[in-house]
Structure 1
Amino acid sequence: MAEVAAARRRADEANAKVDAFEQAYKKRQPEAVNDYLELTLESRTLPTGVPADVEVAYQPDIHRLLVVMELPGVDVIPPEIEHRYVRAKDEIAAKPRPAREINQRYSDLVAQLVLRTMRDVFDVASKDLVSEVAVSAHVSTRNRATGKPEQPCLISLITTREQFGDLVLTDLDPGQCLRHLNALVSKHPWDLEAVRPVFDPDLSRYKFVDAHDAASGLDSRRVLLDLDPTEFEHLVRQLFEAMGLKSWVTQASRDDGVDGVAVNEDPIMGGVCVIQAKRYRGVVSTEAVRALAGVMGQLKASRGVLVTTSWFGKQSHEFATEHGRIQLIEGTHLKHMLQEHLGLDVVIGELKGGLRRS
């Protein structure tokens, strides 16, 4: 009887955990949603040789699910077309599959697996829970030159529920479908030629953390003028942190810009640095440059930096040169800095006069 009672207690405890998990999911608690969707994807029935490993991160504020999935290697495609018995030699002879066919079959397979993963997410998650899915599909392998383990990304994309809902999955070509969805797709997946993921595959930074990583944005060609103020703020912060500034504190801004105060720890050139970023479409006024000098004086800052997506006039450049401790960074320079320090390729956007800076 004691063994039966103990078994019942264990069952009751397990059931209570399941009930609690169900209630947490119904309440849309991010951790529960995250765990449920990950368990659902990992429990799918997949073809032989296809790994079921996935990792997900749920972003409740924008109803987006990030999925990092494992793809099989090219050896999942059988290297032989058929086997036949040769009576004269009393042996089984294999007919090899042409390399071109292996490559095409592998390309189709990885595309189909990505599309199926997105379909499975949209099928199990309600519309109010997940409206976008971003997938980064990787292969576990070893670098042929160094022998070290690596996971090149072969396919990466983000798709809304509406975009995916318009697809007729039974009648489409998987490769062309990915191009239709603006996916980043390896040109030679069978050679493990990688593409740059549309988000950082280290999902730990996304899980249940309020901080937003703008530099790991979901579009490899972000348009700076299309960013909202919060995204722009985090992008500027990350840029200057990558350049060595620490202890960033964002100040209130009233002109659709960013006012940051950071510390340069360099023992010679260091000190407090005031950084202002203006997400402008037209010329930045000289008054803005003079105002930066005033803020520097109030904070006893050793340096001031004014960044803009547009440009400065002649008087602004002359004032900065005369001041001696103000640096002006225009849109084209900002674009170069983002590429150099964050590896981020961006487009500035349409400036006044219809000029578009790419």
Structure 2
Amino acid sequence: MSAGVAAHNQEIESLRAGLPSRDRESVEAYLELVLDRTPLPDDVPRQAEVAYSPLGEQAVVRFELPPVDVVPTIANYTFVGTTGELREKRRSDAEFRRLYQSIVSQIALLYMRDLFEADPDLENVEFGGHVHAINPATGQREYPCLISFAVDRERYQSLNLRDVTRRSVLPIWRSSKAGVTEAGGPGRFWRGIRRSVRGGTASSSAGS
């Protein structure tokens, strides 16, 4: 075993040792480590902050989402035999939005699952997923919240994640009084970002 792996394992054990006492810093560090190890594609940012409160066994999680241009604007290409050219078919706004929402939803579900499974004492979790983006209306970089929801352990345990479909995810959160927004809420902001991506201009970035 390498020194790096040994040190990493020692850190995990140290954090776990602090869980029974529900030490705030230990719980926060442990949960952040859990999120860092959640299996995600390489192009998904691994930036998450956790604030833990022993009162009500609650964790508030703020995490970074991939930029909207993670969804290709081109749906497919068609070869035209008579001219020898490739014609591209762009995704509609509705399809683009649906695919990005699906990505966001799946990331949030993975984080929710991993936190509740990793810490049996955790009872409530609030999530806020943000993305770095340029507001086309102002040209300014912003960090809008794309998805925000709260779930308790009882609600989590009532879900069969294997049978949760993409279409049913957001209604589930709404039924638990979750506030779900896209690009911070204003529809015109989302449409502006969408148009910028469609026009081939990078409208968002995973960097700061």
**How would you bin the TM-score normalised by the shorter chain?**
0.7 to 0.9
State the alpha-carbon separation in 2 of the partners of residues 121 and 60 from structure 1. 15
Which of 145, 154, 157 is 1:162 aligned to?
A: 154
**Equivalent of 1:100, from 76, 94, 102?**
94
**Which residue is equivalent to 1:28?**
22
Query: What is the CA-CA distance between 1:99 and the residue it aligns to?
Result: 1.9
Cα distance 1:27–1:69, how it changes in 2: closer, same or farther (>3 A)? Answer: same
Q: Does 1:175 align with 2:151?
A: no
Q: CA deviation at 1:160?
A: 0.9
**1:185-218: per-residue Cα shift (whole Å, max 9, x none)?**
11xx2xx2438xxxxxxxxxxxxxxxxxxxxxxx
Structure 1 position 147 matched with structure 2 position 145: no
**TM-score w.r.t. structure 2 length?**
0.73
Instruction: Report matched runs for 1:108-127 at 5 Å.
Output: 108-126=102-120
Would you say 1:71 and 2:65 are equivalent positions?
Answer: yes
Displacement of 1:33 in angstroms is: 1.4
Which runs of no fewer than 5 residues in structure 1 stay unpaired? 1-6, 196-358
SS of structure 2 residue aligned to 1:118: helix
Q: CA deviation at 1:56?
A: 0.6
The AA in structure 1 aligned to 2:185 is A
> Per the alignment, do residues 116 and 181 of structure 1 end up closer, same or farther by CA in structure 2, a change over 3 Å counting?
farther
What one-letter code is carried by the residue in structure 1 that aligns with 2:64? E
| Aligned: 1:184 with 2:185 | no
How far the C-alpha of 1:48 sits from its partner, in A, is 5.2
Judged with a 3 Å threshold, the aligned counterparts in structure 2 of structure 1 residues 86 and 47 are, in CA distance, closer, same or farther, namely farther
Kindly provide the CA deviation profile for residues 119-151 of structure 1, in whole angstroms up to 9, marking residues without a partner as x.
Answer: 22111111xx20000111111112333333221
Percent pairwise identity: 32
Instruction: Give the RMSD, CA atoms, in angstroms.
Output: 2.8
Measure how far apart 1:84 and its partner are: 4.0
C-alpha contact (below 8 Å) 1:141/1:151 kept by paired residues: yes
Can you give the 5+ residue segments of structure 2 that lack an aligned partner in the other structure?
Answer: 187-208
Measured against aligned partners, the alpha-carbon deviations of 1:1-56 in whole angstroms (never above 9, x if no partner) come to xxxxxx98x99877765554442345432212111110111222223533222111
CA contact (8 A) 2:15 2:27 kept: no
- Looking at structure 2, the residues matched to 42 and 13 of structure 1 have their Cα atoms a distance apart, in angstroms, of 16
Residues 1:79 and 1:179: Cα distance change in structure 2 (over 3 Å): same
Q: Does 1:58 align with 2:57?
A: no
Contact 2:135 2:141 in 1 (8 A): yes
3-state SS in 2 of match to 1:107: helix
Q: Is the Cα contact below 8 Å between 2:59 and 2:125 reproduced in 1?
A: yes
In 1: Cα distance, 2:63 partner to 2:5 partner: 33
Q: Which residue of 2 aligns with 1:331?
A: none
1:142-199 deviation line (CA, Å, top 9, x unaligned): 233333322111222221100121122323411211111211011xx2xx2438xxxx
The 8 Å contact of residues 111 and 178 in structure 1, kept in 2 or not, is answered as no
Larger radius of gyration: 1
- CA deviations on 1:273-306 (whole Å, 9 max, x unpaired) are xxxxxxxxxxxxxxxxxxxxxxxxxxxxxxxxxx
Q: Tell me the SS of whatever aligns to 2:138.
A: coil
Q: Distance in 1 between matches of 2:115 and 2:6?
A: 31
Give the distance between the partners of 2:36 and 2:179, measured in 1 at CA. 24
Aligned to 1:135: 127
- Quick one: distance in 2 between partners of 1:21 and 1:93? 55
- Distance in 2, Cα, partners of 1:110 & 1:60: 28
> Does the 8 A contact of 2:38 with 2:110 survive in 1?
no
Choose between structure 1 and 2 for higher RCO, CA contacts under 8 A separated by at least 6 residues: 2
Alignment coverage as a number of residue pairs: 182
